[in-house]
Structure 1
């Protein structure tokens, strides 16, 4: 009884992540008056909303601060990759320059000229840079943060947006110190740099600022992973899920956070894909919407950086071929997804159906118990749950190969 209660609480929490209380009430009402078919329309609208949610990230700082390198690192690109932000060029434009995510075009990163390179005040700067369209700001400095940086941060805060201070090129600074000194303590030196940044920002009027020390060329080290976590935590739930899926797979923790995001979509897709009638496995293709199932698995691959574009970018960086990376993953799910593959997944899903019943029965608070163990809903739910788990394992294997190559 305790396990069922725990599953219900978890599922209800996941439901409220994407739905307002008003939408949850409408789900219940629609089901009571029109059954599953009426519920499907709201779910289709919500899935479309998730797919079309835009995220705009503004990165600002003076010329040479490392804005372009940070934008590339957040997109999983190197400076030589197609579509990468140009690195090391002289800043000549006063206009924001946008860069789309390689596989998620609704996510855009904006390179804004540093306020020190313009004639604008902090207030007029934000107006000229179209402040309202950005979800948050990253203020980058390669050395000391300036009074202009602090003024900009205060103006951003006044207007109700989040901002983050990033001290870039920490790897170069530490390497120089390491070469100059007989004894060197990396942690202690990072602490000194961080304290200096915090102190100077404090004197400029920013109380208790958090400063992230990063290297855009080593995104799995220093404060880069902590920065990515902080950026996601500062967003509303739907945009946070979009941001997490847009992250490069720099460590296992990010892959597992992506799994948490994707698993929350499975129950919606399952209701959209099937009805509630009992079905035999041979009738799987008729009872479940193959288009939704195939599309979901393709979207899972994209979110987990297992699509061909992401694998090609990774292959170029590691010196391996896409075929090598796919071979390391050892999964039929990285090839073409067809109806026979879905049926094959369905045959395997029968064995795991019982294990997901406890969760699936409570996915929609108040109405979820209608879905029985023999429903096409549960079959679809099982298939997608199994597919996601296999793809997460693939992503972890590919990450291990990439780290080994690097």
Structure 2
């Protein structure tokens, strides 16, 4: 498929490359051949793997900052790397807490403004606000003057910020203990409206407040908060953020699948072009090492490695054995070159042609490969792997939280 078809001329759906970069790929291939084009894809994958995401979490002492930071990373108090919890302010400096498997994603615990006894503008300088991608402002009662001033300074910097009302489960529990009969959805609406009105009284325009429990990450506004944070990031940072989220809902798993799918064509291109070696029993060649790493990474990103399963079991309060029992895939064992070769020579992937690939999703591939190529085979293999792992991850969520999967 040498020439560009009408479909090739359509805007690409590949989120990690802008149109200028895609044109650069085409030009590189036309001028210097496949090796040059693939080197640009390599650089993009390195950028994806190296992107830094710094998230600031601020609020008064006792507002639930540390518990929230742990929940966003799938950790509990006492886990290795967990932020210490309690009502006492534990830090007077910005304290980083890295994601346990994606250290490029970091949550920063900032002490409350009132703790340092400094003005909001000086607090801004001391906390090095410029380095953060966005801010989460947590409160569990009245929104205080310090937060009002802080919000103004964040707005002045042009940074995004989000209001989170924590410990919402205590409000509902208090109502139950008092013997009140109430509709939970209506009461949550009242609390949310009250928070928004108080923000407006303080001169802060806000589209909403997220009501969360850091102990129930699949309930209340926790999933909506995660989705909102993700949607307001650029595609590359969104990729890192989505993959860092604990598997609390089926929707999160689907979103992880989508972002990983966007990467498959790049991995398949590299595997089919960089140092490719013949595959025994096939007339094609590819870099098996790239596929081994990709499959292992997919499994971890979708929360099916042992450490991720244990963390999820801890958060859900379930034995990890209950979660592992629902996983039915050969991809849970050791992923090595011999295993991948057996997959490549299996009947499910042999004979895949480039015509079976959605070319408007995969820019320039039609120009780089022939109709029957290692690209088509490895592309299909990684899609099969991703589908298999996604279905099993959804079964794990059902076992952990009782959320019915789509399958």
TM-score normalized by structure 2?
A: 0.90
How far residue 263 of structure 1 moved from its aligned partner, in angstroms, is 0.3
Judged with a 3 Å threshold, the aligned counterparts in structure 2 of structure 1 residues 26 and 86 are, in CA distance, closer, same or farther, namely same
Corresponding residue for residue 68 of structure 2: 70
* In structure 1, distance between residues paired with 2:81 and 2:206: 37
Task: Output aligned runs, 1:50-129, within 5 Å.
Answer: 50-129=48-127
* In structure 2, distance between residues paired with 1:264 and 1:366: 14
Corresponding residue for residue 260 of structure 2: 262
Task: Output aligned runs, 1:5-404, within 5 Å.
Answer: 12-14=12-14, 17-275=15-273, 282-283=280-281, 287-317=285-315, 318-321=317-320, 325-346=323-344, 347-350=346-349, 353=352, 357-366=355-364, 368-404=366-402
Moved more, 142-151 or 61-70: 142-151
- Give CA deviations for 1:19-62 in whole Å, capped at 9, x if unaligned: 13321111010111122211111011110110000111110000
How far residue 219 of structure 1 moved from its aligned partner, in angstroms, is 0.8
Judged with a 3 Å threshold, the aligned counterparts in structure 2 of structure 1 residues 344 and 136 are, in CA distance, closer, same or farther, namely same
* In structure 2, distance between residues paired with 1:264 and 1:307: 22
Residues 278 and 285 in structure 2, CA contact (< 8 A), matched pair in contact too: no
How far residue 200 of structure 1 moved from its aligned partner, in angstroms, is 1.1
Gaps of 5+ in 2: none
* In structure 2, distance between residues paired with 1:391 and 1:252: 13
Judged with a 3 Å threshold, the aligned counterparts in structure 2 of structure 1 residues 50 and 284 are, in CA distance, closer, same or farther, namely farther
* In structure 1, distance between residues paired with 2:130 and 2:143: 24
Residues 138 and 166 in structure 2, CA contact (< 8 A), matched pair in contact too: yes
How far residue 303 of structure 1 moved from its aligned partner, in angstroms, is 1.2
Runs of 4+ in 1 over 6 A off after TM superposition: 5-11, 278-281
* In structure 1, distance between residues paired with 2:263 and 2:252: 18
How far residue 404 of structure 1 moved from its aligned partner, in angstroms, is 5.0
* In structure 1, distance between residues paired with 2:80 and 2:115: 27
3-state DSSP of counterpart to 1:13: coil
* In structure 2, distance between residues paired with 1:171 and 1:232: 24
* In structure 2, distance between residues paired with 1:379 and 1:107: 33
TM-score normalized by structure 1?
A: 0.90
Judged with a 3 Å threshold, the aligned counterparts in structure 2 of structure 1 residues 273 and 158 are, in CA distance, closer, same or farther, namely same
Residues 60 and 111 in structure 2, CA contact (< 8 A), matched pair in contact too: yes
Judged with a 3 Å threshold, the aligned counterparts in structure 2 of structure 1 residues 21 and 207 are, in CA distance, closer, same or farther, namely same
3-state DSSP of counterpart to 1:184: coil
- Aligned pair count? 396
Moved more, 119-128 or 245-254: 119-128
- Give CA deviations for 1:158-209 in whole Å, capped at 9, x if unaligned: 1011000000000110111122244212122111211111111111111244
* In structure 2, distance between residues paired with 1:341 and 1:50: 27
* In structure 2, distance between residues paired with 1:241 and 1:71: 19
Judged with a 3 Å threshold, the aligned counterparts in structure 2 of structure 1 residues 146 and 6 are, in CA distance, closer, same or farther, namely farther
How far residue 147 of structure 1 moved from its aligned partner, in angstroms, is 2.1
Residues 76 and 314 in structure 2, CA contact (< 8 A), matched pair in contact too: no
Answer 1 or 2: which has greater helix percent.
1
Judged with a 3 Å threshold, the aligned counterparts in structure 2 of structure 1 residues 11 and 329 are, in CA distance, closer, same or farther, namely farther
* In structure 1, distance between residues paired with 2:50 and 2:277: 33
* In structure 1, distance between residues paired with 2:301 and 2:349: 26
Judged with a 3 Å threshold, the aligned counterparts in structure 2 of structure 1 residues 361 and 201 are, in CA distance, closer, same or farther, namely closer
